[in-house]
Structure 1
């Protein structure tokens, strides 16, 4: 069995040491690294690693804040790494598999890896056993509930026409109006984001700021920005800002309703 590991530490030397030690662990594949808490949240949601080697003290978000952000959407096994033993009790309170106190040597690191291998194997077998039941379960749930908007009625001069919501890149508030951005046009409608938001399918749209709702199917990638914020890059090249206030909506990025 092989498992996906993510290394999170703001010190490049610490990341290199862990990466070097993991070369002796063929069952663990390093799928990414993060240098601060914001990057860690993004990497965990995107890469969905089985195991995270997680520093505690980092810029922007500490290790515990990172877990609080991702836990509703993905729950990896965690080995904390830190230079401070004061966090040990709190680490095990949040179900950390192990706690590596820096500087740790190769033997202590191997002990931590051995400790996590058995629960990793059990979790993988449990997930594999559950997979055959997923298609019938999804079929029983049925199609999405009706009621969400599939198109908007737009008026331009004397002309009325429909815009499919699937074609909308994002909605942008403009005082008492909304700008509806599509790949080819921008339309203006008289409505507020607060009125519109509950009418949109949560798996297709999510609010990223006070003035913007983005169409998730048009998002190419997220980039960690500053102070817990992200840059949202669309397939057409436009860039929007996902503000810290709406960071709880990050689950929508990988298919969980916000």
Structure 2
């Protein structure tokens, strides 16, 4: 099944860039785009997108005003509204965006890895995975990759990590965190540290069915290892891991709200 996406953005070049990124995702279908808030509301009722990538600063109606209008229509008509991903060049609107129950928040110019994380978050919110969807007995949407016959194998799935000299067989659950170095990444596990000839994005793709999160562009962390989160400066945080070293992982201010939201769920 496909996810219908719509863009509301008044800057043409930015709109085209975001459209290109969305079109690279095989399970996403791009609906016609809107150049302002009023046009978005018209197109929304016509195409019923699953997710809207909504610019905060637009003429006529701002993205915040559009979100409030959609929420009002939901309350009045008892209808579902799409997921909202806010985008802007100003990160001070992040808290307001999440107060409106946005699924995520993207800063311009778009970072490809951050965009990929947003796309995956949208999939999870909608109950989509990389495999075709099926219906569970309780009515929840699940992927064929997580049907009863595959759950056992998923629990015992292993990663094959090339360190340049040998291939290491690794359990995803044993990974505490990974950090980007110059030409490789360091994967810190319960058994020790591995230097892997791969990118952080490649590792993130390998563990996408496990509870991992990108709190910073140079880090990937296993959520099960986070013990506490403390304020740092300028809206950023540090995540303290419950490992022997009490490792501190930086959490950027643009990722903090999303991290809190995921942990609460």
What's the TM-score once normalised by structure 2's chain length? Answer: 0.45
Q: Which has the larger radius of gyration?
A: 1
Q: TM-score scaled to structure 1, two decimals?
A: 0.47
Greater relative contact order structure (CA < 8 Å, 6+ sep): 1
